[in-house]
Amino acid sequence: MIVGYVLALLAALASGSGSVLESIGVRRAGAYGGSALDLVHLRRQWIYFLGVGVDLVGFACAAAALHRLPLFLVQSVLAFSVGVTAAISAFLGSRLAAPGWAALGVGAVGLVLLGLSAQPGPAKVLPAGWRWVLPAMALVVGAIAWYFRRFDRPWAAQVLGFATGVGFSVVGVSARTLNLPSSGWGMLAEPAVWAMILNGLAAAVAFALALQKGGATAVNAIMFTTNTALSSVIGLLFLDDRVRDGFATFTIAGLILAMAGAIVTAHYATQAKEPRRTARLAA
């Protein structure tokens, strides 16, 4: 069980760090605030691909944690990566107000409550029909990204962040329900594998477009709030994720505090002034 908690924490650290690196890459490429075609310039930004690589490490840790712990716990820990993003941004010089730091503390308390209330164990196997719905969700995420890429408005980043959260929710559900076949070729016939690949790619594209239109911390907050809420509901209602006897109040309070901490942190991070040091990194 301890291994699952460690893996979830490593996933949050990797995800938050990767988001900062990807955001810096987008700005260095001159794609921030531009059109979707400007993202082509990312091919020359090694720091962006370093961020993607760090994100992949985080994904591997999260997938391993999901085999041991409920979705509502792992995804809430991942949501706290918004705090990692804010902390790294502050180290680079971004000025996060005191209420923002207080919000991080609130989110941390929520994670502790969730950790105490979660009952480790495997997930319920999905019916065959529903297992093929998961890969098809990539079409929904991709359609949202394709349509809203054209709008150069702050709310477009929020919609794209929401689409990213939906995509990564499906990835989380797929990882939680993945039943690894005995043979390597059997992986090709496993819907959960295709669901993770296709939704992961669609979510990554939506995330890049969101970073183009909004700050990393704000986009992360929307993404992980959507991811946490949607994944938690699916896990508790359909995947037999369980709460320890007598700890239901802890779970509810933990989810509220964890998501509220992420949202408030994002609010103050959005208002934070961009420092010269960060500007040089983004240049």
- The per-residue pLDDT for range 137-146, each reduced to its tens digit, is 999 999 999 9
What sign results for the dihedral spanned by CA atoms 24, 202, 53, 6?
positive
Separation of alpha carbons 169 and 252, rounded Å: 19
- Whole-number pLDDT of residue 277: 41
Half-sphere exposure of 80 (CA within 13 A, CB side): 29
Does pLDDT of 29 surpass 90? no
- Whole-number pLDDT of residue 36: 56
- Whole-number pLDDT of residue 145: 92
Quickly tell me which residue has 């400007």 as its tokens: 38
The 8-class DSSP code of residue 31 comes to: -
What does DSSP say about strands 242-243 and 118-119: parallel, antiparallel, or unpaired? antiparallel
Separation of alpha carbons 103 and 83, rounded Å: 9
Helix (H) or strand (E) holding 243: strand 242-243
The 8-class DSSP code of residue 127 comes to: P
- Whole-number pLDDT of residue 88: 79
**Which pLDDT band, with edges at 50, 70 and 90, does 276 fall under?**
very low
pLDDT digits (tens, 9 = 90+) for 179-215: 766 666 667 778 888 999 999 999 989 988 887 787 7
% of residues, the chain, pLDDT over 70: 83
pLDDT digits (tens, 9 = 90+) for 83-120: 787 777 777 766 777 887 888 888 888 888 888 888 88
CB 137 within 8 A of CB 166: yes
**Which pLDDT band, with edges at 50, 70 and 90, does 33 fall under?**
low
- Whole-number pLDDT of residue 237: 86
Q: What's the first-to-final CA gap in the chain, in angstroms?
A: 44
**3-class secondary-structure state, position 55:** helix
pTM higher than 0.75 for the full model?
no
Does pLDDT of 24 surpass 60? yes
- Whole-number pLDDT of residue 100: 78
- Whole-number pLDDT of residue 207: 86
Lowest mean pLDDT among 164-168, 203-207, 210-214, 228-232: 210-214
Residue 113 neighbours by CB distance under 10 Å: 22
Going by C-alpha positions, the residue among 241, 7, 5 that lies closest to residue 123 is 241
Cα Rg of the chain (Å, integer): 18
- Whole-number pLDDT of residue 182: 63
pLDDT (average), residues 209-224: 77
**Which pLDDT band, with edges at 50, 70 and 90, does 270 fall under?**
low
Q: What is the mean pLDDT of the chain?
A: 80
Considering only residues 158 and 277, tell me which one the structure prediction assigns the higher pLDDT. 158
**Which pLDDT band, with edges at 50, 70 and 90, does 77 fall under?**
confident
- Whole-number pLDDT of residue 263: 74
Task: Tell the burial category of 123 from Cβ atoms under 10 Å away from its Cβ (0-12, 13-18, 19+).
Answer: buried
CB 77 within 8 A of CB 83: no
